[in-house]
Structure 1
Amino acid sequence: MAVAMDIVEALAEINKARPAYRLDIGEPDVEPPREVMEALRQMRDAPYGPSEGLPELREAIAGLFGVDRDEVVVVAGGRHGVAALMWAFRKAGIITTRPYYPGYLEIASAFDIRLDFVDAEEGRGWTPEFSRRGVYLVNYPNNPTGAVLDRGKVKELVDVAEFVISDEVYRDIAFAEFVSPLKLSPNVAVVYSFSKVFSVPGFRLGAVIAPRDVARLVVRFNRATVNSAPSVLQRAVAPLVPEIPRIAARLSEIYRRRVEIAKKALGLKFVEPKGAFYIFPRLGCSGSEFLKRALSRGVSALPGEVFGSPNYARIALVLPEDRLLTALSLLNEACPGA
Structure 2
Amino acid sequence: MKAVRRNWLLAGITVLVLGGAVAYAGVAIAGYQSRATATVGAATPRPTLPSGPLLVFRDTSPGAHYGQVASVPLADPSAARTSTGLLCDRVYATHENLMCLRTQSGTVTSFDATLYDVAGDQLKSWPLPGFPSRTRISPDSSLVAQTSFVTGSSYGAAGFSTQTTISAVNGIDYGNLEAFTLLVDGQKVTADREIWGVTFASDDNTFFATAMSGGRIWLVRGNLRGRTLVAVKDGAECPSLSPDGTRVAYKKNISTTATKHWTLAVLDFATGVEKELPIPASVSVDDQAEWLDDGTLLYGLADPAAPGNSNVYAVKADGSAAPRLFLAHAWSPSVVR
Higher strand share: 2
TM-score normalized by the length of structure 2: 0.30
TM-score normalized by the length of structure 1: 0.30
- Asked which structure has the greater RCO (Cα within 8 Å, sep 6+), the reply is 1
Larger radius of gyration: 1
